[in-house]
Structure 1
Amino acid sequence: MSENDFTLNKSSLIPLHQQIYEFMKRKIMNGEWTVGTKIPTQRDLAKNFNVNRSTIVYALDELSADGLIESKVGKGTFVVNNTWSLLASIPPPDWNSYVKSGSYQPNIKTIQEINRAETNPNIIRLGTGELSPELLPVKEMQQMFKRDSPNTFSLGYSEPKGSIYLRENISNYLKMKKIDVSPASIMIVSGGLQALQLISLGLLHRDSTVFLETPSYLNSVHVFQSAGMNLLGIPMDDEGIRPESLGRLKKQHNGALLYTIPTFHNPTGILMSETRRKDLMDVCMKEKLPIIEDDVYGDLWFETPPPNPLKSIDGQGLILYIGSMSKTLGPGLRIGWVVGPEPVIDRLADIKMQTDYGSSSLSQFIVAEWLSSGLYDEYVKKIRTKLRFRRDFMLEILNDHFKPLATWNFPQGGFYIWLNIKNQISIRKLFKKALIEGILLNPGTIYDRHNQVHLRLSYAYASLHDLKKGLIRLSELIKEFTD
């Protein structure tokens, strides 16, 4: 529950507790806060509205007198009535029970807090996994909409696998990564996360197990768990995932597939070595263990191009390969793709048509134009240079302020530095304290619930001024927690 959509008018003649009462009553009577909704604690409300706790008590007392809320000892305060229940003899539906019974699991609490905090334009986002607005090609995109193109543009639905124009261009683009696939083996999706959702819906059985690196981005979303599957972490080292245990674990845990981010891993930034890629492929081919290869950061290398994707050495149709424009051209385009055996792509395309009837035709056309014109290659070169500068800028700050406090990796591409705090502290308390001070962190616990010593730092999003200010204050907070 959020109060961010309401600001008290402290110069008004209407008392503050009356303003809060009217706001909360309106929420209840309009059905935004349904019967069964738990009201935040008095302390949280006082903090959200920036008032004394006594002001909140007055407002809640009036709501209670109206019969709209009720406090239960040891449980909290809940909405017990609204307009319809006051007027009708039959109680209204308890939407809260519907929310709890849905099959899709709610986000981790910390992820929900991060998502809410990211809407605040004044907060310093030290872990956000997207390009800064100042790096996105806004002007170039505007020009792209104005330019004449010989290619046909449609505002209608595209075919199930997506625009053939875009898929042909992706097919050509992937050849540079040594992936040789026809447009028929490519499906357009609304970002990489939708690809994972379609795979979970269309290809896997309930109670099967998905292997993944520990830690992993996949732990921060519930796409497979909500489909009734289990996640099992596989250890990593500096060369990437260690594959030697996969055969044994596949037999023990009903292993269905492996999800991996071999190139500039999220959240650790690790680049899987070429030798490790071959070892992993050998094990997975021997065990007939399919792979989802997530390569959304593959274009963002700095000094040296990374090894070719796993898909480039896949001679058995073992790999579903995911790519996306979200980390380069912009997340708002919502354009990604899945590459795989044609029957699998046909199956996923059928499910996609049942869920959203295809990704945005406008976005598909624009991405195809970027690829076909050569502008995408030119743009990515510039982004690599800017991200490399930002990486070096962050590393310099870390060297100046974090050496006694933490260790970290040296990423060769992507967005992330994986900060390892030397002394044992409460990552949760650090997250909350930083948030109060206007600094948003991505703690290691959202990528591995047992990880209490890491933070994912991103040099891609915050301005250079905010990066410096936020990191220096973060170093001071860590010192405070370790003293």
Structure 2
Amino acid sequence: MSFTEGKTVRKRPKYLQIIDYIKEKIGNGEWPIGSKIPSQRTLAKHFEVNRSTVITALEELTADGLIEGRMGKGTVVINNTWTLLAKNSSPDWDQYVNSGIQQPSRRIVQEINTSESNPELIQLSKGELSNEIFPLAVMKDIMGKVSQNIEAFGYEEPKGYLPLREALSGYLRTIGIQASPSSILIVSGALQALQLISMGLLQRGSTVFLDQPSYLYSLHVFQSAGMNLTGLPMDKEGLLPNHIHMTKGERGRAILYTNPCFHNPTGILMSERRREEILTASEKNQLPIIEDDIYRELWIDNIPPAPIKTMDKNGHVLYLGSLSKTLSPGLRIGWMVGPEPVIERLSDIKMQTDYGSSSLSQRVAAEWLISGEYQQHLDYVRHQLKMRRRHVTIALETYMKNAAQWSIPEGGFFIWLKIIPSISMKLLYKKALAKGILLNLGSIYAQEKGNYIRLSYAYASLEDLQKGIYELGLIIGELASR
């Protein structure tokens, strides 16, 4: 349940403010019967009071018959201000929520997603570019240009705005991918592409082979569709394809997902040789590949090896790209490249789900590509990431040399930290959060061995990056000395 509204400023005693707040939420139907209210700690923090004040408020609401503490569930709403007098009860929304097909995110992932909107925290977890890097002036110019030339527009054709697909066709040629506009589908970010694949190409019980660790483990896009994730080990060159072992029943019911450029969360850049080996294994096993290449343009030292898709002559690879990591996640513009029958199928499903990505965002994205501003912006982004990576590397050497091990990534957003002392990672997470530092633990990504943290150097300010790493070093030292 979200709890992000601003604090109410009143002269009434704090415990009465809490009562009014909760009653308003319940009375408006925002917190229906069966829903769990925020914890005492969260309420105390929100209203800047001691937990005893919160307890006083909750006791009065309990006496009024509105809430009830339940073992293992926390405090839940059992009535509202009008059903206390009504003869008919409201629907049991809790039953509906728990029976939905889409699995909820893990609790820690939900907490991180909520905390990432808190500007007071040092965001060492956030996988997006800093606001300081956002090209605000150019974006205003491009939006102004688009608005001056705009005409009445409605739903786009199923595959997306044609000028954008034409511009992407030209852009993809620069990285070696030959794709006509008819084999490109515009999606609302690469995540939607994965959702469309899960709905349109795979059946329940299918197997998704993937890197382990992987960002996909922090989502439930495939699991919610009834599919099984099978993790494959990695080395410094990327996913190891010789670990793909398919049963007879899996043929035609499996797909391989990999993130070859500046892998999330490890930052590994897959070698050219490994890309060739993966495609060979794919063709041998008749195993389609999802190549998630959203970090490709974030190279710092050298241009990465060509995408797997460039070697694909038989239509084995579905190639994903996006503007979310390089330009703006708010545009919600990504793309998928694949065989035309597949793109036709998935474009039909996309029309069934949202009738197409934003027409305005697609026009803005097209102008970025056509004008040449996108390539200039990428040059600036790479320069900024190089400076940030150096800044963080110095901070790690200064404050974490004896606490962690790491490799310097050749691009992307992330440094994969292995914590050397044997400490509780959950306790590390909690203590860091109490110090105003948000972390992503390796366990989120199914890192089963060792203690790992995914550290992002892309979002927080340089000052916050140094402060966060300094504090992290102190916390690890404290925990290790116990």
| TM class by smaller structure | over 0.9
1:388-425 per-position Cα deviation (integer Å, ceiling 9, x unaligned) = 11111111111111110110111111111101101222
Q: State whether residues 390 and 464 of structure 1, in contact with CA within 8 Å, keep that contact through their aligned partners in structure 2.
A: yes
Give the alignment partner of residue 450 of structure 1, picking from 434, 448, 454.
448
Report if the CA contact (8 A) 1:427-1:452 is conserved. Answer: no
The residue that corresponds to 1:371 in the other structure is 369
Equivalent runs, 1:268-347 vs 2, <5 Å: 268-347=266-345
Secondary structure of the structure 2 residue equivalent to 1:85: coil
Q: Secondary structure of the equivalent of 1:134? A: coil
Q: Is the 8 A contact 1:417 1:457 kept in 2?
A: yes
My pick for the range that moved more, 445-454 or 195-204, is 445-454
d(CA) in 2 for partners of 1:250, 1:400: 50
Match of 1:69 among 67, 70, 80: 67
Greater shift in the superposed pair: 84-93 or 416-425: 84-93
Instruction: State the alpha-carbon separation in 2 of the partners of residues 448 and 117 from structure 1.
Output: 21
1:71 to partner: Cα distance: 2.9
Aligned 1:397-436 pairs, distance under 5 A: 397-436=395-434
Partner secondary structure for residue 83 of structure 2: helix
Letter in 2 for 1:343: P
CA pair 74-413 structure 1, distance change in 2 beyond 3 A: closer
Shift in Å, 1:31: 1.4
* Alpha carbons of structure 1 residues 244 and 25: separation in structure 2 relative to 1, 3 Å: same
Paired with 2:152 and 2:72, the residues of 1 have a C-alpha distance of 58
Q: Answer yes or no: is 1:353 the counterpart of 2:365.
A: no
SS of the equivalent of 1:293 reads strand
* Matched residue, 2:7: 7
Is the Cα contact below 8 Å between 2:146 and 2:367 reproduced in 1?
no
Quickly say closer, same or farther: Cα 1:165–1:228, change in 2 above 3 A.
same
Partners of 2:303 and 2:316 in 1: how far apart? 24
1:57 paired to 2:55: yes
Match of 1:96 in 2: 94
* Rounded Cα–Cα distance in structure 2 between residues aligned with 1:417 and 1:316: 35
Identify if the C-alpha distance between structure 1 residues 211 and 143 changes in structure 2 by more than 3 Å, giving closer, same or farther.
Answer: same
Number of matched pairs: 480
Partners of 1:251 and 1:408 in 2: how far apart?
Answer: 40
Residue 392 of structure 2 aligns with an amino acid whose one-letter code is M
Amino acid at match of 1:473: E
- Aligned-pair RMSD on alpha carbons? 1.9
Matched-pair contact (CA < 8 Å) for 1:258–1:290? yes
Q: What letter is aligned with 1:352?
A: K
User: Which runs of structure 2 are paired with 1:122-161 in the superposition (5 Å)?
Assistant: 122-147=120-145, 155-161=153-159
Q: Distance in 2 between matches of 1:259 and 1:331?
A: 22
1:85 match: 83
TM-score, normalised to structure 2, is 0.96
Amino acid at match of 2:256: L
Structure 1, 345-354 or 436-445: larger mean CA deviation: 436-445
5+ unaligned residues in a row in structure 1: which ranges?
none
Q: Is the 8 A contact 1:213 1:259 kept in 2?
A: yes
Is 1:185–1:339's contact at 8 Å kept on the other side of the alignment?
yes
Q: 1:45 is matched with which residue?
A: 43
Q: Aligned partners of 1:295, 1:215: CA distance in 2, in Å? A: 17
**Is the contact made by 2:403 and 2:477 (CA closer than 8 Å) also made in structure 1?**
yes
Cα 1:142–1:41 change in 2 (3 A) is closer
Residue 28 (structure 1) aligned to one of 4, 26, 29:
26
Preserved contact between residue 445 and residue 452 of structure 1 (Cα < 8 Å): no
Instruction: Indicate yes or no: 2:397 matched with 1:387.
Output: no
Question: What displacement does 1:37 show?
Answer: 1.7
Aligned to 1:257: 255
Letter in 1 for 2:445: Y
| Distance in 1 of aligned mates of 2:16 and 2:414 | 47
Q: Tell me how far 1:2 sits from its aligned partner.
A: 4.5
Task: Give the conservation status (yes or no) of the 8 Å contact 1:154–1:361.
Answer: no
Q: Which residue of the partner structure matches residue 162 of structure 1? A: 160
Aligned to 1:118: 116
Shift of 1:361: 1.0
Q: Aligned partners of 1:73, 1:164: CA distance in 2, in Å? A: 56
For residues 63 and 374 of structure 1, what CA distance do their matches in structure 2 show?
A: 60
> Deviations for 1:3-42, whole angstroms, at most 9, x for unmatched residues?
4425264xx5422111111111111121111111223444
Amino acid at match of 2:292: D
Cα pair distance change 1:92/1:149, threshold 3 Å: closer
Deviations 1:112-141 (A, max 9, x none): 111111121111101211000110111101
SS, match of residue 84 in structure 2 = helix
Q: Do the aligned partners of 2:418 and 2:450 also contact (CA within 8 Å) in 1?
A: no
Distance 1:65 1:475 in 2: 47
Tell me the secondary structure at the aligned position of residue 257 of structure 1.
strand
Q: Which amino acid aligns with 1:129?
A: G
Contact 1:445 1:451 in 2 (8 A): no
Separation (CA, whole Å) in 2 of partners of 1:329 and 1:376? 8
Are the counterparts in 2 of residues 211 and 234 from structure 1 also a CA contact under 8 Å? yes
Q: Aligned ranges for residues 181-196 of structure 1 at < 5 Å?
A: 181-196=179-194
Q: Distance in 2 between matches of 1:434 and 1:322?
A: 34
Separation in 2 of the partners of 1:132 and 1:476?
25
2:104 to 103, 106, 109: 106
Structure 2 CA distance, aligned partners of 1:357 and 1:348? 12
| Residue type of the alignment partner of 2:466 | K
Do the aligned partners of residues 240 and 56 (structure 1) sit closer, same or farther apart at CA in structure 2, a change above 3 Å counting? same
Task: Please tell me whether residue 176 in structure 1 is matched to residue 174 in structure 2.
Answer: yes
| Counterpart Cα distance in 1 of 2:321 and 2:75 | 46
C-alpha displacement of 1:444: 0.7
TM-score by length of 1: 0.95
Report the 3-state secondary structure (helix = DSSP H, G, I; strand = E; otherwise coil) of the residue aligned with 2:300. Answer: coil
Going from structure 1 to structure 2, the CA distance change for 1:441 and 1:103 (only over 3 Å counts) comes to same
Point out where structure 2 has 5 or more consecutive residues left out of the alignment.
none
Counterpart of 1:377, as a letter, is Q
Partner of 2:436: 438
Deviations for 1:81-124, whole angstroms, at most 9, x for unmatched residues?
11342132121101111111110011111111111111211111
Instruction: State the identity as a percent.
Output: 55
Question: What is the deviation of 1:154?
Answer: 5.1
1:258 counterpart SS class: strand
